[in-house]
Structures are given as C-alpha cells and as structure tokens.
Structure 1
Amino acid sequence: MTDPDTPASFRLAYVPGVTPAKWVRIWKERLPRVTLALVTVTAAEAADVVRTGGADAGLVRLPIDRTGLSAIPLYTETTVVVVPKDHLVTAAEQITAADLADEFILYPQDDTLTWTDRPGEAATIVPTTTAEAIELVAAGVGLLVVPQSLARLHHRKDLTYRPYVDAPESSVVLTWPEGEPSDLMEQFIGIVRGRTVNSTRTPERVEKKNAAQKAAAKKARRAATAKKAPAPRRGKPRR
C-alpha cells in the first residue's frame, strides 16, 4: 500500500525528439508503486508547463526562460541537415556552411536552434512546425537543419540527413521548479544521472524516513494524552 504522504504519481513533461523510455523503465523498477505520467509538450511551452505546475519536471531543449526553474544539463545533440535522398550533398559524410551556400533553407516557427549566421538563403515559406518543414523538404522546397533526434522522429523513406559541422548545437536539460527538490524529484535526478540504487534515495530509504516520522508522531500523541489524563486519587477509598 502506498504511503498517504507519498504522491501517487510523478508528472514528467518532454519535448518532441527526447526519448525518456530508458528512464521510465528504471523508474518502474525502483518505484513500482508511484506512476510516472508522461506529458508531451512543444518546445515553446515546455518551461511554462513546469513553472506553472503542469508537470513536476521537464526534459526540454535550451534555450529556455530559467525564471523560477532549476536545471541540470543532460546531453548535447548532433545537428544535421535533412535533404532528399537524391540530393548532391548526400555525397559527403559531413556538411559545412559552404556546402549550403546556394541552397534554400527552411526555418520553421518552432526552430529549436539559436542562429548567429544562417547558411544559404532563407526559403520564402516559413512553416509553422518542424513536421510541416519535413514535408516541404520532401516536396523540394528547401533543406532543413535540426537536432538529429528530430530528424529521426520525422523520418521518411525519401529523405536522409547528414551531420552539419558549422551549425549551433542543441542541448537537453532536466528542469523543475526552484526550491528544495521533493523526494520523488531527487529520485528522478538520480536516475537521469545514472546513480545506482545504493547511491540514490531508494524507495526503501524513503519508506524508512516515513516510518520514522510516523513513530515520532505516535510518540508525541502518547505524550500529549498522558498530560491530559487526570492524576490518580490518593487516600483510602470511600465505604
């Protein structure tokens, strides 16, 4: 039976392309009585969802507004160029800005990369989403630069991608509301950082902590009851 002081679930928001499956599996092994609920969010709304309590934590891409949030870095993704399979640049193993000088590049409104110098020429069409941009690449409108996980997420048989060495990188972080992390938050931090069961705050330790708190509360109640009890009468009993 789950302790009444322990939340029944932990809500984890994550942006497209991030795959929390491994961490979810470890969570289920270590905390089988606490549901890990996944919340899919867009890159634009991810930070606000965590900040406003829509999720207990989030796996999000930088940059984000860090106001009211704590965050730890997890990993940095490879940036790639998505192109039709018959495109000339596929002859190279890696792509540079010079290779894209004469190309039209699509920049969707949900672009997750922070650009200083954009390669090639910006396409006149500005797609709303990365998914829409992928469709335009397939239609021959232009090329697309994205984190590799997004290229995999939107994979099509008629498209491929190549690493882009001059592009800005995309970093993924774990974020949660500022303040002392909850026991469950500490658990998830330990999982994503690769801590073993013995090196993190395991369910057994949490349960022992709760048991100690219960024992202390019971002792306090007994002490309070003893103070309220009437003092025993002295002297001989009446006949």
Structure 2
Amino acid sequence: MDLDLRKVRYFVAVAERRHFGRAAAALHIAQPALSRQIRALEQDLGTPLLVRDSHGVALTDAGRQLLDDAGPLLASADAVRRRVAVAARGSRRLTVGFRAGIAVTPAVRLFAERHPDVLVDVQRIDGDDQATRLLDGRIDVGYVRLPIDEAGLRVSPLFTEPRVAVLPAGHRLAGKDQITEADLGGEALVWPPDAGPPPTTRPHPDSGYLVRGVDETLEHVAAGRGISFLARSATVFYAHPEVSFVPIPDLAPDQVCLAVPAARTSPVVDDFLAAARATAYVTAECGNATMWPTSSHQ
C-alpha cells in the first residue's frame, strides 16, 4: 500500500507535540478524526507508532524512525508541488540561496549567458534553514556553509575561507595583525546554535549568548557579551564601528559547498552548478577566500 502523505503529516503533528489535543487544534480537525487517521496509518504500516501514557503520547521505535524520515519526505512532496506550479505558469525560474558573505553574482552572470530565458532569483539563507529550504523547494541550489544536515541532499565542496576573530572594539587584542586560538582562551563566546561546535575548545563557562546570523553576532559582540568567529568574507561585506576583525590563522577554515536536493534532476540546475564551479575562484576572491580542492571533502 502506498504511504498516505496526509496521514504522515497528521502523525508528525502528534509526534512533535506529544499530544493529540494540541495536534488536532493545530491541524484544525476534530481529535477523534485525528485518532482515526493515526490508527489507519499504523494499520497501513503494520506497526504501532504511538503509545498513550499518563504524560501524553510516547513514540515507539517505529514511530521515532518514521518521524526522522518524515521531514525529508514531506519536504520533497512540497518541492514537487512548487515545481509543478511554476511549470504550470509557463515560467522558467531558478532560485539560488546563499549564506552571508558569499558572492553569487559571478555564477549568475555566466549562467545567464547560457540561459538568457531563465530568471535567476537569489535569496539569502541562514544556517538553521539552509537544508530545509532546499528540501522543500524554496531554493533550487544553495551556496551553503558546513555543517549542514546532508540527508536528502547532494553536497559538493567549493572553497574554504579563513576565519577571523570578532572582538569588541575595546578588546585587548583588537587591532592586532593576527592572533592565535590560545590568545582567546577563557573568553565568553557568542555563537549560532546551527553552526556546530565553536572552533575554539576553551570557551568561558558563562558563554551562552546564542545568535542567528552575522548581524546579530556583530551586535552582541559590540555590546561586550563575548567574542565570536566568522569567515573572512565578513570583513568585506560587513562592518560595525564597535567591532574589530582580527585574523586567526590556526583555526580550521570555514567550508563553503554547493548543495542541491538529491532527488532533483535538472539540466538547468546542472548548468548552474557548472557555472558556480567555473566561477568559484572569482567568488572566493570576492571574500578573500581560498580555493578548496575537491578531494578534501568526502
């Protein structure tokens, strides 16, 4: 029996909230109807997915597995609907996402020479939505920064960028030609939760300011709430009068990749990827980055 995506969406609503009543309210359906749909899904799959207990709802092992798999599955279905809608309008559009500090113009220009009939839209993306936007079809190609959840994606390396320390203007090390990780031992950190572990292994125990994006990072650092680290392109594309950028060569570099949905096959997308690779050196130079040999990413 084919998997009913509507039932899967209902299951996800319950599994995420661990409560049938709250899930039914969010879905705008009656709770008994929701319960029937979940029972029907369990019958389709031949296994219990949820167990009611005194605290609400618990997931079985099968339920946890379905919840893990449901995200990419539902996002892929959404992407199909978006692409069909675009095709029905008769328009040819390619949407390219990019992280802050990455210049996509060189690739867009080269692609336009080969495909003047395709409109290329560009959208800035953040670390916490770069995979989601690719999987649900809001963007077709992404210039992403690692780490990224690669499930359902094809990710290929493009280049690396050295990192800089982001310091308050009055910091004891502001204005130095370069510093080392050891110089910053014990400093409080301002760090995006989606960016993986911070590149320094010795943060102050009181670190805890979580930020989203470069702009928030700069504001928190300027306010003296801690230091941070950014790719060197931040010094080209961003500025703040109360912040100092200082090179820190001994940190692992920031890694920039191209990403597309694994299930997506399109000559137009492939041509944009080719244009992005052909112009990678120019893109890297825009942010003072360094080309990354393809063998360095597995």
Flag the 1:180–1:125 CA change in 2: closer, same or farther, 3 A.
closer
Greater fraction of residues in helix: 2
Deviation at 1:139, TM superposition (A): 2.0
Superposition RMSD in Å: 2.5
Counterpart Cα distance in 2 of 1:14 and 1:191: 15
Within 1, Cα distance between the matches of 2:133 and 2:264?
A: 19
State the secondary structure of the residue aligned to 1:19. coil
Residue 180 and residue 128 in structure 1: after superposition, are their counterparts in 2 closer, same or farther (change >3 A)? closer
Residue 184 of structure 2 corresponds to residue 121 of structure 1: no
Of structures 1 and 2, the one with the larger relative CO (CA 8 A, separation 6+) is 1
1:136-164 residue CA offsets vs partner (Å, 9 max, x unmatched)? 22122221112222454441133221112
Mapping for residues 64-213 of structure 1, pairs under 5 Å: 64-90=148-174, 92-110=176-194, 112-115=195-198, 117-130=200-213, 131-179=215-263, 181-194=265-278
The residue aligned with 2:109 is: 25
Deviation at 1:126, TM superposition (A): 1.0
**3-state SS of 2:103 partner:** coil
Instruction: Give the 3-state SS of the residue equivalent to 1:88 in structure 2.
Output: coil
1:11 aligns with 2:95: yes
Q: Deviations over 1:69-117 (max 9, x none)?
A: 112111111111012344331353222122112532222334x253475
Judge conservation of contact 1:106–1:122 (CA < 8 Å) in 2. Answer: no
Gaps of 5+ in 2: 1-87, 280-298
Displacement of 1:179 in angstroms is 4.2
Deviation at 1:129, TM superposition (A): 2.1
Consecutive aligned runs of 4 or more in structure 1 exceeding 6 Å deviation: none
Greater mean deviation of Cα atoms: 136-145 or 71-80: 136-145
- Identical amino acids, percent of aligned pairs: 27
User: How far apart are residue 180 of structure 1 and its match?
Assistant: 6.5
After superposition, residues 36-51 of structure 1 pair within 5 angstroms as 36-51=120-135
Classify 1:137/1:179 alpha carbon distance in 2 versus 1 (closer, same or farther; 3 Å): closer
Greater mean alpha carbon deviation, residues 181-190 or residues 117-126: 117-126
1:67–1:96 distance in 2 versus 1, CA, 3 Å: same
3-state DSSP of counterpart to 2:120? strand
TM-score (norm 2): 0.57
The structure-2 alpha-carbon separation of the partners of 1:150 and 1:44, relative to structure 1 and needing over 3 Å to count, comes to farther
